[in-house]
């Protein structure tokens, strides 16, 4: 089945540690996205990538980093510079251009900083 | 810039009653609008999308939404609520129409739907 996988589902981190969240898709989509979700705030865009080896900052990129070395993969690193990293993180993908396309979402990773 | 506002962070209805979730948009160009549903601790699932082909859009699970330009609204409705409809619902608008590229979306803050017996 085609879709998006995120791992792990739950992640615990000590303050001061970097942590990497995995996102893989087999939908052959060019574009991929990372969102952060906090209660009552909806989804906020962290980073997005339209093509391999290229990515752009979203609205809340500070304290996060990404890479896009393969079309299928878009890992997100939450660095120690992110002051309040506890949140639900969602990865999405879509066709990037040529029409109006929805984004498909993974199941999410819940990160808790201890 | 394109944006959406969802009125009412919590809505409660009785099973079998009409569901109405409100979304108003702001856009300087004809918008592309989406409704997504999220069940607890899961990702988002597309319910329906408006791409200017028809003002009344039918989606999955019996939901539909009507685009009203005069009211800048795209409210989500379902004639008869079911217990399984209890979830959080997000309205979204595509934001890169003028800047081009990326198929970016901006989401509203969400409406939690509760369905009571």
Confidence at B1, pLDDT banded by 50, 70, 90: confident
**What is residue B31's predicted lDDT score, i.e. its pLDDT?**
87
> Is residue B40 pLDDT above 80, yes or no?
yes
Give A62's contacts (C-beta < 8 A, 6+ positions apart).
Answer: A81, A82
Give A101's contacts (C-beta < 8 A, 6+ positions apart).
Answer: A94, A95, B103
pLDDT tens digits, one per residue of B61-111: 999 999 999 999 999 999 999 999 999 999 999 887 656 667 889 999 999
DSSP bridge partners of B10: B112
A33-44: burial string, b at 16+ Cβ within 10 Å, e else: bbbbbeeeebbb
Q: Nearest by CB to A100, from B44, B94, B104: name it.
A: B94
> Does the distance separating the beta carbons of B42 and A50 come in below 8 Å?
no
**Quick check: A43 contacting B, CB < 8 Å?**
yes
**What is residue B15's predicted lDDT score, i.e. its pLDDT?**
97
pLDDT tens digits, one per residue of A66-96: 999 999 999 999 999 898 999 999 999 998 7
**What is residue B98's predicted lDDT score, i.e. its pLDDT?**
59
> Is residue B11 pLDDT above 80, yes or no?
yes
Token pair listed for A80? 């120690």
């Amino acid at each position: 089945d085609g879709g998006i996988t995120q791992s792990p589902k739950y992640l615990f981190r000590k303050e001061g540690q970097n942590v990497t969240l995995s996102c893989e898709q087999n939908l052959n989509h060019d574009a991929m996205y990372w969102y952060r979700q906090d209660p009552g705030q909806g989804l906020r865009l962290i980073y997005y990538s339209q093509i391999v080896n290229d990515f752009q900052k979203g609205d809340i990129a500070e304290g996060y980093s990404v890479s896009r070395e393969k079309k299928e993969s878009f890992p997100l690193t939450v660095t120690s510079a992110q002051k309040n990293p506890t949140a639900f993180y969602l990865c999405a993908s879509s066709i990037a251009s040529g029409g109006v396309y929805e984004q498909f979402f993974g199941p999410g990773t819940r990160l808790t900083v201890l | 810039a394109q944006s959406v506002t969802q009125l009412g962070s919590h809505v409660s209805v009785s099973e079998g009653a009409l569901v109405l979730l409100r979304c108003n948009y702001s856009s300087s160009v004809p918008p592309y609008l989406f409704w997504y549903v999220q069940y607890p601790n899961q990702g988002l699932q597309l319910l329906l999308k408006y791409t200017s082909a028809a003002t009344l859009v039918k989606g999955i699970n019996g939901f539909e939404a009507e685009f009203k330009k005069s009211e800048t609204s795209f409210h989500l409705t379902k004639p008869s609520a079911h217990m399984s409809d209890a979830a959080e619902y997000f309205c979204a608008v595509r934001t890169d129409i003028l800047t081009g590229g990326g198929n970016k979306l901006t989401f509203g803050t969400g409406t939690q739907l509760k369905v009571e017996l």
